[in-house]
Structure 1
Amino acid sequence: MGAAALTGATVSFDLQKMLHRKGEFETARLDDFAFRARARTMRLLATAIERSPEDLVALIATMDDDAILGRLADDGGSSVATRIRRSHPGKIGVKYLLIAVSMGLLSGTAQAAERDYCPERPGIGTPACTIAPGRISLETGLVDWTREDDSSTRSDTILIGDTLVRIGLTDTIEAQLGWTPFGHARTRDKNSAAIDRANRVGDVLLGFKANVHNPDGSGFSVAVHPFVTLPVGRGPVGAGDWGAGLVVPVTYDLSDALNLELSPELDAAVDQDGNGRHLAFSGTMGLGVAITPAVTGTVEFQALRDDDPSGATTQALAGLSLGWMANDALQLDIGGAIGLNHASPDSEIYLGISRRF
């Protein structure tokens, strides 16, 4: 009886030991599988962002995947890493990375195609982001009404179809073509009640924008944007002569919901009489707020100095605009601006649409 009990205890003990060893084996096998999956994913990721696979794989021994992406983004070496973290906040995990890499979202062509759409509309300032290569952005002001009112005259200018076409040439450079197909200007003399009306086309803008840091506009982004205007139209809608300018837009993400925008600009502006050019310069500061994932509001202030030979002026404007991303390639916008001093236009209201192709 005692021997049987002893034998039963021994069998029980051996079974427990066997199950324990099997558990250790399975745990080790799963850990090895997870490590190999992470290593394979990091090698694919390294190839996609042109980093050393060995260096990236070495990081998995001491860092989780979210920390590795954070390091890549903080080092400024990968806007891809920044985009993944934005689109999937919280812990990333090897499964999400592996799916993204396997679908080709991190390859050069797919990366450009998947870049978030960044229209220049709405607002007074200029964003630093550029359109991805092979993409085209068509941005149109459906209607834009500006009113200027002083002691002797009131002027109303309505622009219809003011359009900017942006074409992605490389990962960091885009070409721009702009034109106003129709403008109506009405001026009323308050003393004589005489009214002058003019229907004109506007001038053509040719330019390009070259981003020098983070072309998708994430984090800290900087670009240079030279342009020229060609005198296709006539006054009061067209300028009457050629002009040129340079904008250096800068944006910085203060948080996931706040974006700071700066747009200093230097112009060879056309003289008021339509013959010759003079110096004009301005500075625009804005704060963009992500109200919802699809709606962004922007508050802006601009100061502009115009040294026209007929009389130098300094304008000050404040603007407010809203942009709604109906989908990842279509934005509708509305906005306005008011003059903060006597030299500025009294008010402006506009409505527009932007579409990426």
Structure 2
Amino acid sequence: MGLGRHTGIVRAGLDKSRAKCSQGYIVRKFLHAAAALPLLVAGAGAAAKSGHSLARPVPASLLRELSTDRPDQTESPYTVDAGRFQVELDFVHHASRRDTSGGGSVRTRNWRIAPVNLKVGLLDRVDLQLLVDPLVNSRVEDRIAGTTEEVSGFGDVTTRLKVNFWGNDGGSTAFAIMPFVKWPLPASGVRNGATEGGVIFILGFQLPGGWSSAAMTELDIVSDGAGGRDTEWVNSITFAHDLTDRLGGYLELVAVTGDAPGFKWQGQFDAGLTYALDDNTQLDLGCNFGVTDSAPDYQPFAGLSRRF
């Protein structure tokens, strides 16, 4: 789910350089970009579904097939239908990593309880999203030193705006851009207190044999912990196939790189299942597996998506 999926338990301790970039500047730039994107696709969106909007919802008979940004890390290029609401949440999300570098033995475990993505369709090709982490628990155990540190609290809040440029209502490919901003909530044991943001580019396409795929490139501007900024890139590709009328599965590869001094690239292999209860409700479960030492060892999850 964008920013926050791959950060936190592997970023601490990096010696990062400073860059002159204020929080206000970051917010203004992303708000300007978010405001301009719907105008770029207004004409194309009007032709697709007769200009539905938040005030003029798409009727049930014209709703697209349910599309979600979970459970895989690759976002979907499709938006929520105009005037409709969608809730996507994890029941629980766990990440664990053991660091044995330098002869040490440090185990980090993160628990996220009911993180949720609240979506609303604004226009035929535009939706607005609010991501909230209600409860985060982080536990770091140094088995050599015999020490344990544990913090808990309300996590981050992020706003995203997804704009589909083509393929929302048919075609063999689809493309969307999604800028986002993490709110600068007061710093705590589980929040860094900084404004962070970025932009996500998503391309979806159909493959032979009933397979579908999506590729994503994400640019993150993150705090370096010393008043400056670092850049991180997330690249992923996912492959999905229906197993039955209701059951589907996917496989995914994810790579995270960054320009901070000492940053080690993080690689993951992910797998999961989705099950459609009805046209508007989907259950999912899966696990992300680290394939590099710097990535979390494993991240099991289970969740629910519901459209209204």
TM bucket (normalised to shorter chain) is 0.7 to 0.9
TM-score, with structure 2 as normaliser: 0.77
Pair 1:224–1:215, CA change in 2 (3 A) = same
Q: What does 1:186-265 align with in structure 2 at a 5 Å threshold?
A: 186-216=139-169, 219-232=172-185, 234=187, 237-255=190-208, 257-265=210-218
Q: 2:302 aligned with 1:351, yes or no?
A: yes
Which residue identity is paired with 1:150? Answer: D
Once the two structures are aligned, what percentage of the paired residues are identical?
25
Residue deviations 1:239-259 (CA, integer Å, cap 9, x gap): 331111111111101147210
List runs of 5+ in structure 2 lacking aligned partners.
1-46, 50-56
Which residue identity is paired with 1:139? Answer: E
Q: C-alpha distance in 2, partners of 1:229/1:302?
A: 21
Partner of 1:344: helix, strand, or coil? coil
8 Å contact from structure 2 (residues 48, 124) kept in 1: no
Q: 2:112 aligned with 1:163, yes or no?
A: no
Residue deviations 1:181-222 (CA, integer Å, cap 9, x gap): 001111101112211110021111011000001224752100
Task: Compute the displacement of 1:231 (Å).
Answer: 2.8
Q: Which residue of 2 aligns with 1:332?
A: 283
Task: Compute the displacement of 1:291 (Å).
Answer: 0.9
Residue deviations 1:98-135 (CA, integer Å, cap 9, x gap): xxxxxxxxxx9337742111111101110101000011
Residue deviations 1:18-53 (CA, integer Å, cap 9, x gap): xxxxxxxxxxxxxxxxxxxxxxxxxxxxxxxxxxxx
8 Å contact from structure 1 (residues 252, 260) kept in 2: yes
Q: CA RMSD in A?
A: 2.1
Q: What does 1:102-117 align with in structure 2 at a 5 Å threshold?
A: 109-110=58-59, 113-117=62-66
Q: C-alpha distance in 2, partners of 1:277/1:251?
A: 31
Counterpart selection for 1:138 from 87, 93, 101: 87
Q: C-alpha distance in 2, partners of 1:220/1:126?
A: 14
Pair 1:177–1:345, CA change in 2 (3 A) = same
Q: 2:259 aligned with 1:290, yes or no?
A: no
8 Å contact from structure 2 (residues 266, 295) kept in 1: yes
Pair 1:274–1:131, CA change in 2 (3 A) = farther
8 Å contact from structure 2 (residues 58, 84) kept in 1: no
Q: C-alpha distance in 1, partners of 2:135/2:73?
A: 21
Q: Which residue of 2 aligns with 1:307?
A: 259
8 Å contact from structure 2 (residues 222, 229) kept in 1: yes
Q: 2:286 aligned with 1:319, yes or no?
A: no
Larger Rg: 1
Q: Larger strand proportion, structure 1 or 2?
A: 2
Residue deviations 1:291-316 (CA, integer Å, cap 9, x gap): 1121111100011102234x222111
8 Å contact from structure 1 (residues 130, 216) kept in 2: no
Which residue identity is paired with 2:113? Answer: I
8 Å contact from structure 1 (residues 200, 234) kept in 2: no
8 Å contact from structure 2 (residues 266, 294) kept in 1: yes
Q: Which residue of 1 aligns with 2:30?
A: none
Q: C-alpha distance in 1, partners of 2:188/2:271?
A: 28
Partner of 1:133: helix, strand, or coil? coil
Partner of 2:114: helix, strand, or coil? strand
Which residue identity is paired with 1:330? Answer: T
Task: Compute the displacement of 1:354 (Å).
Answer: 0.8
Runs in 1 of length 4+ with deviation above 6 angstroms? none
Of structures 1 and 2, the one scoring higher in RCO (CA 8 A, sep 6+) is: 2
Which residue identity is paired with 1:287? Answer: F
Q: C-alpha distance in 2, partners of 1:171/1:345?
A: 38
Using the TM superposition, name which of 251-260 and 118-127 deviates more. Answer: 251-260
List runs of 5+ in structure 1 lacking aligned partners.
1-77, 81-107
**What count of residue pairs does the alignment treat as equivalent?**
252
Q: C-alpha distance in 1, partners of 2:140/2:62?
A: 47
Q: Which residue of 1 aligns with 2:74?
A: 125
Which residue identity is paired with 2:76? Answer: P
Q: Which residue of 2 aligns with 1:89?
A: none
Using the TM superposition, name which of 274-283 and 146-155 deviates more. Answer: 274-283
